[in-house]
């Protein structure tokens, strides 16, 4: 069953693009053909969360990014988490948690022309593993408590959905 967490109008992005967004909590995977990106809320056994800094967006976030050609949504999520944190996740262990529906307002934007979905997964990793970014599109990966996570990311448009997943 899906639950609308928030509807946001005229969200402006770092590249100057603007979109309306629906943040939806949902344990079912989003339709694969509509998903252009994936993100993962990664929790450790001691209830800390993996976060990374994006120099392009100038913000902290959960690991994630754009799908590459021929890549499934789960493959995208696994690759992005590995690139941004060094963690190797099992694609089958990813749990769908919700999605963001982008409806473009401006002509430019990194989403497909008609908009689309960003799939949000959650995953749990055993132990406490050091995080190391493999690429420079996300840097300084670290583990944060839920309170620290909220302090660092609570003002972001996507926070209500991630907070509902915590």
Residue 35 belongs to a domain with what CATH number? 3.90.79.10
3-state secondary structure of 22: strand
Residues 6+ apart with CB under 8 A from 76: 37, 38, 65, 66, 67, 68
Over the stretch 91-128, which tens digit does the pLDDT of each residue have? 999 999 999 999 999 987 777 888 999 999 999 999 77
The answer to whether residues 61 and 52 touch, using CB atoms and an 8 Å cutoff, is: yes
Q: pTM for this structure?
A: 0.94
Range of 62's domain?
Answer: 2-165
Report the domain count for the chain: 1
- What confidence score (pLDDT) does residue 70 get? 96
Pair type for strands 18-26 and 95-104: antiparallel
In Å, what is the CA distance from 79 to each residue of 63, 91, 130, 135, 148? 10, 10, 17, 11, 25
């Amino acid at each position: 069953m899906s639950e609308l967490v928030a509807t946001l109008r005229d969200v402006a992005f770092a590249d100057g693009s603007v979109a309306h967004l629906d943040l939806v909590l949902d344990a079912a995977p989003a339709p694969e053909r509509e998903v252009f990106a994936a993100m993962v809320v990664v929790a450790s056994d001691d209830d800390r969360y993996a976060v990374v800094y994006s120099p392009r967006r100038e913000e902290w976030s959960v690991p994630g990014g754009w799908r590459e050609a021929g890549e499934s949504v789960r493959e995208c999520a696994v690759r992005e988490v590995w690139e941004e944190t060094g963690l190797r996740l099992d694609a089958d262990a990813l749990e769908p948690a919700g999605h963001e529906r982008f409806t473009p307002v401006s002509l430019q934007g990194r989403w497909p022309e008609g908009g689309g979905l960003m799939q949000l997964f959650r995953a749990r990793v055993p132990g406490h593993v050091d995080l190391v970014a493999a690429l420079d599109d996300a840097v300084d990966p670290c583990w944060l408590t839920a309170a620290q996570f909220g302090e660092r990311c609570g003002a972001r448009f996507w926070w209500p959905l991630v907070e509902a997943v915590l």
